[in-house]
């Protein structure tokens, strides 16, 4: 989960990807049971502590109960495969999350 938890500077930055902004650009983890919810929240706390040590911003990834999910239009899917030199802000932090969950825990 830590791979997909985004840290950004400021609340509005959590709804942005490069020049594009809005709620459709936020990162989210949707859970389908209380165990998943607890694991996601625990990983967020643990990962945030590691990010704080390195001077990174707050994690803005939403963690919420599953809700209907709608895929974006086809031209939005697999963007970097379609546009190999396209922009992508996901470069990683190099910071590891100290906890994880095995598939049996989910």
**pLDDT tens-digit series, residues 11-52:** 445 666 667 777 777 788 999 999 999 999 999 999 999 999
The mean per-residue pLDDT over the stretch 7-13 comes to: 49
Tell me the backbone φ, ψ of residue 59, rounded to 5 degrees: -70, 130
Least Cα distance to 66 among 33, 23, 30 occurs for 30
**In the prediction, which pLDDT does 31 show?**
94
Question: What is the pLDDT at residue 17?
Answer: 65
What is the distance between the alpha carbons of residues 40 and 62, in angstroms, rounded to a whole number?
Answer: 10
**Per-residue confidence at 57, pLDDT binned at 50, 70, 90?**
confident
How far is CA 1 from each of CA 9, 21, 53, 72, 97, rounded to the nearest angstrom?
20, 23, 19, 22, 9
Closest by CA position to 29, among listed 3, 52, 55: 3
* Boundaries of every domain in the chain: 7-100
Assigned CATH class of 7-100: alpha beta
What is the model's pLDDT at position 79?
81
């Amino acid at each position: 989960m830590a791979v997909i938890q985004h840290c950004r500077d400021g609340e509005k930055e959590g709804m942005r990807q490069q020049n594009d902004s809005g709620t459709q650009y936020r990162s989210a983890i949707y859970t389908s049971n209380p165990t998943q919810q607890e694991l996601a929240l625990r990983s967020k706390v643990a990962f945030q502590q590691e990010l704080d040590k390195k001077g990174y911003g707050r994690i803005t990834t939403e963690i919420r109960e599953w809700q209907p999910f709608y895929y974006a239009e086809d031209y939005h899917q697999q963007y970097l495969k379609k546009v190999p030199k396209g922009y992508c802000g996901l470069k990683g932090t190099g910071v590891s999350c100290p906890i994880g969950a095995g598939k049996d825990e989910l």
